[in-house]
Amino acid sequence: MTTQALTLETHDETVKDGIVLIDFWADWCGPCKQFAPVFEQASETHGDITFTKVDTEDQQQLAARYGITSIPTLVAYRDGIPVFGQPGALPAPALEQLIEQVRALDMDQVKQQYAQALEAERAKQQAQAAPQARGVRAGTDPAAF
């Protein structure tokens, strides 16, 4: 299997099932060009994994959604859950090790931890919004209303 382009429009459908690796890159990026053949070779070796590439120049909204500030950045999903994200070009052995680690994940445990993390984030956002909703200023900064 070869790599495929990932866009904002195809993202959610692409990452929802199985293992998906996303390579954020740009044409002007030297380390991206070094990592590209490593990523391509892995895509040919692991036909059961979806290998995708995001051109950060063309897909700026998608790169912003991930908060990409350094490229290349590699992100891994399994069954719709992001399980890895790291900037920097990986050598082939490190990419192979990552793939094996993603395959070996106990997804029942990962899903439970992910649900807990989402709930904690929702609670945090609600707690931050509550004082402002009641007209109470957050903090002591006079400009913070």
The 8-class DSSP code of residue 72 comes to S
* C-beta separation of 78 from 110 below 8 A: yes
Options 20, 32, 38, 95, the catalytic residue = 32
How many contiguous H segments (helices) and E segments (strands) does the chain have?
5, 5
For the chain, the maximum distance between any two Cα atoms, rounded to a whole number of angstroms, is 58
Torsion angle, CA of 142/143/144/145, rounded to 10 degrees? 90
Task: Please calculate the CA angle 78-20-115 and round it to the nearest 5 degrees.
Answer: 25
Options 29, 90, 95, 98, the catalytic residue = 29
134 labelled catalytic: no
2 labelled catalytic: no
* C-beta separation of 86 from 21 below 8 A: no
Which residues are marked as active site? 29, 32
